[in-house]
Amino acid sequence: MPWQALLESRERLPANPDLAEGYGALLAHLGSVTPFELAVLGGRLMSSPGLAFLVGYQAALRMLWPSAPLSLGALCATERRSLRPADMQTRIDDLRLHGRKDFVTAGDAADWLLVAARSEAPGERPALRLTVVYSGEPGVKVQTLPALGLMPEISHGCLHLDNAICELLAGDGWDAYVKPFRTLEDIYVLSAMLAWLYGVGQDSAWPQSLQLRLLGLLAGCAEASRQSPSLSSGHILLGGLFAQFQAMRADIDAAFTLGPELWRTQWTRDQALLDLASSAREQRLAKALAQM
């Protein structure tokens, strides 16, 4: 991670209502970067917490699928608010997909979509494979849903699949992709958000001690990003990072109250995005601690 680039940066890219164009502009600005560099340097450049979240999400996707295209992508797994394979109805049959995914982040702007689909034979226990489809192909339709109160600039939608041709990724869909992505997303979204907060702190002259603590957490995220998402040790390290961040939130909130209204309004509206997966994260941490 080129930390000097983060420390010296005073840039911020303008928001683009077209998420795909905005992401393309970010990649052109950054050049060749690792997923962690994308999350941190990209998060610093974003003009809102929601856009920083999107950058962290894209970085996590590239850790999940290193061969991913450079364009905007999305993981499509949730059905009826569940990630359990037994609750999924989307199926793959002879490289054709049928079904629906009910929450796709930035789905209407994504160029490619990773889709978890049931693949077991009748009577067998539920099994998943991960597939790839491309927006605009026959049988692939994204229905954009109304904007949420949280991160309203980041669209979300339902994916409808009707005999859509797909590519198949190697490995078990659950163990190799859906399950580890939840941890990867936590790491890279936290990294992007911390970088965004550090940038706001630089621009708003936050206390130096607070800025240094944010940098310390980012250094911890760099180490967490090197851990396997399937190992207990990685979940414990990540739990420590979130515990430190929670201990800082009162100081962060206080710093926002003394700064520009724009940043304060955005943070008040969107800070809960870091709590969205807290229950599942706490369960993984408890299991990891028990195993250790």
Task: Concatenate the DSSP letters of all residues of the chain into one string.
Answer: --HHHHHH----PPP-SSHHHHHHHHHHHH-S--HHHHHHHHHHH-SSHHHHHHHHHHHHHHHH-TT--SS-EEEE--BTTB--GGG---EESSSEEEEEEEEEETTTT-SEEEEEEE-PPTTSPP-EEEEEEETTSTTEEEEEPPPPSSSTTS-EEEEEEEEEE-EE-SS-TIIIIIHHHHHHHHHHHHHHHHHHHHHHHHHHT--HHHHHHHHHHHHHHHHHTTS-TTSHHHHHHHHHHHHHHHHHHHHHHHHHHTS-HHHHHHHHHHGGGGGTTHHHHHHHHHHHHHH-
Range of the domain at 120: 73-168
Note whether 49 and 78 are same-domain residues: no
Note whether 232 and 105 are same-domain residues: no
Residue-level pLDDT at 148: 87
Note the pTM of the prediction, 2 decimals.
Answer: 0.96
Note whether 45 and 185 are same-domain residues: yes
Per-residue pLDDT of the chain (292 residues; tens, 9 = 90+): 788 888 888 889 999 999 999 999 999 999 999 999 999 999 999 999 999 999 999 999 999 999 999 999 999 999 998 999 999 999 999 999 999 999 899 999 999 999 999 999 888 999 999 999 999 999 999 999 998 889 999 999 999 999 999 999 999 999 999 999 999 999 999 999 999 999 999 999 999 999 999 999 999 999 999 999 999 999 999 999 999 999 999 999 999 999 999 999 999 999 998 888 888 898 898 998 998 7
Note whether 12 and 115 are same-domain residues: no
What domain count does the chain have?
2
Choosing from 144, 168, 192, the residue where a domain stops is 168
